[in-house]
Amino acid sequence: MSKFKNDLAIIIVNYNTRQLLDDCLDSIYRADSPKGGLQVVVVDNASTDDSMEMVAKKYPSAISIKNSENLGFAKANNIGVNAADARYVLFLNSDTVIKRYSLVKPLKYLKTHPRVGAVTIKLYLKDGSIDYDNHRGYPTPWASISKFLGLAKLFPGSIFFNSYHLGFRKLDKIHQIPVAAGSYLMMPTKLFKDIGMWDETYFFYGEDIDLCYRINEAGYKIIYYPKVSTLHLRGASSGLRKENAKTAVSNKAHKIKLAKASAEAWKIFYQKFYSKRYPFFVTALVLAGMTIKGRLRVWKYQLGK
């Protein structure tokens, strides 16, 4: 077995989120750290604020990597992993605030369950509600249609209508889920590399569903571990979520770019994994719905709303 210098490496991708990043890093270094060593890697996607100057000044032990252009979430994370030296890796958003045991307890669970390929924890939003994007099923045609038509919101506890966010599961119990969000995803570094790392075809959104799909296909479980929790200021960096739209650091041009990438992500996933699984007309219908929804979202930001 190869030797690693650290037990855990935390990879954070940053784009103009100086204050969020500062709060995130501060929470990491205040939390209980793995006895085998903790490494923090910040990969900056060509920010125009002083994010990286802040990191160098306040957190000199962190590895800082500054890209000359915005390479997207997937590629930047891959760069971070390649610069790290740890047995396990945690992909973490800069808009999260880690709690005391949010690192060591999930890591212990991962170490003691060899058939578990990834662990995530309970993420809660600014208003105290659960971040259901971190507790998902696959975007099958029916799950996608139910979500887009609002049936999942209308019947949140239904296994039939809300199979995407798994609203019928008990969120206070440790259990297996198909998909966790890239905002907090911990897994063995070797497995991550063995299954091909993040798919860099995705720029933003969708890459976490893709990665989780490949973890499951490799025969490993993804576990939702709600014994610890972390605050997620969802959308605070992108500005695409209404709960943080007014305080988001993202500008109009960036919001439009991310909205386009979000719509494209669904197409990439469907064409990669579902195009041969379902009849052509089913896939075409879902992709048409995604295209319309994506264009409406782009127009919304183009109009400045």
Residue 274 φ then ψ, to 5°: -110, -10
Pair 142, 282: CB distance under 8 Å: no
Pick the range with the lowest mean pLDDT from 50-59, 125-134, 239-248, 288-297.
239-248
pLDDT at 305: 54
Among residues of the chain, what percentage have pLDDT more than 90? Answer: 67
**CB neighbour list of residue 108: distance below 8 Å, 6 or more residues apart:** none
pLDDT at 2: 55
Residue range 104-139, pLDDT digits in tens: 999 999 999 999 999 999 999 999 999 999 999 998
Strands (E), 75-220: 86-93, 96-97, 116-124, 175-176, 184-188
